[in-house]
């Protein structure tokens, strides 16, 4: 069984929330890839994460919506290296980063107004283009 993951001082993922499974990886590795299960499949029960505020939990749900299995657990895989232990550490770090990202509150967008000078320049350019295009037009036919 895996150890608990400490995200911050107050937020941690207990060991009981983690399920680790090793499977055969794809890609390079020669004959070794057919014999050794180096790819790590880490599943995390999101409801068991301790110290997560309600708003952070909602952000985490939004961040992980596409990575959930049928039971609602977060699925993280790693096959970056040919070593199972390093892949497990990589998967644990991915989970830690995801939860840490959910902890940071997004900055509120402050609506800004367009400066008056920019508006004047835009309209002047528009008028200039209009007169330029009008000067290219065929002169009206005299009847």
Tens-place pLDDT, residues 94-134 = 999 999 999 999 899 999 999 999 999 999 999 999 999 99
Domain-embedded: residue 26: yes
Three-state secondary-structure class, residue 11: coil
Tokens of 16: 């009981």
Report whether pLDDT(35) > 80.
Answer: no
d(CA 58, CA 60): 5
Three-state secondary-structure class, residue 119: helix
Q: What is the CATH number of the domain that holds 65?
A: 3.30.160.20
Q: Which of 68, 47, 52 is nearest to 10 (CA)?
A: 52
Domain-embedded: residue 132: no
pTM of the model: 0.70
What pLDDT, on the 0 to 100 scale, is given for residue 36? 78
Domain that holds residue 68: 5-103
**For the residues 10-33, what does the mean pLDDT come to?**
82
Quote the Cα angle for 125-126-131, to 5°: 100
How long a stretch of residues is the chain?
Answer: 143
Domain-embedded: residue 47: yes
Domain-embedded: residue 20: yes
């Amino acid at each position: 069984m895996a150890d608990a993951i400490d995200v911050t001082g107050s937020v941690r993922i207990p060991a009981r929330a983690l399920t680790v499974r090793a499977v055969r990886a794809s890609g390079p590795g020669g004959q070794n890839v057919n014999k050794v299960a180096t790819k790590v499949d880490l599943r995390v029960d999101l409801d068991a994460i301790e110290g997560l505020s309600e708003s952070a939990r909602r952000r985490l749900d939004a961040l992980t919506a596409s990575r959930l299995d049928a039971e609602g657990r977060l699925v993280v895989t790693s096959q970056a290296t040919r070593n199972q232990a390093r892949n497990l550490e990589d998967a644990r770090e991915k989970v830690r980063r995801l939860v840490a990202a959910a902890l940071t509150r997004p900055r509120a967008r402050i609506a800004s107004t367009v400066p008056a000078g920019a508006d004047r320049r835009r309209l002047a350019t528009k008028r200039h283009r209009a007169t330029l295009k009008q000067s290219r037009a065929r002169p009206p036919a005299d009847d």
